[in-house]
A = this chain, B = another copy of it.
Amino acid sequence: MTDDADIDPTLEPDVFSRDCASRGVLQDATSRWGLLALVALRDGELRFSALRRRVDGVSERMLSSTLQSLERDGFIDREVLQAIPPKVEYSLTDLGAEVADRLAGLIDLVEGRLPEVEKSRQDYDAR
């Protein structure tokens, strides 16, 4: 049972407020490795080793810590399959899938406009 009595219902989450928990959640979802792990799982569940190959460049330790944060936030599920040796599979929750959809839209935009960004950087550096 959750006791909601001490939560002020007039206090809506606001990312512009320095104490709002939404800031930390956004950082989990958009961290260098969190963003890639979430979007990688849009194609279906993956085992740790497959996820690590997909998220090119991440260390075992960083991927492990990233997945723990995402699981804690309720963005991914971690399932241990009965096998010898045991297999662990990761998949998106419904909420995680919604977050990943939005991240994928952002990635598509940035990838598609990358030449424009690179031109802007060249102009800026040449000033």
Contact = CB atoms under 8 A, between A and B. Distances in A.
Report the contact-size class of chain A (Cβ under 8 Å from the partner): 35 or more
B13 A72 contact: no
Given A103-B106, A125-B72, A36 B56 contact: no
A64 interface: no
Given A21-B118, A25-B114, A73-B120, A102 B106 contact: yes
A65 to B, nearest CB: 14
Given A30-B30, A30-B35, A110 B22 contact: yes
Given A15-B36, A56-B17, A124-B71, A109 B119 contact: no
B117 A74 contact: yes
B54 A16 contact: yes
Interface in A9-30: 12-18, 21-23, 25-27, 29-30
Given A18-B56, A102-B109, A110-B22, A72 B27 contact: no
A110 B99 contact: yes
- Closest 3 pairs (CB-CB, A-B): A74-B120, A18-B57, A30-B30
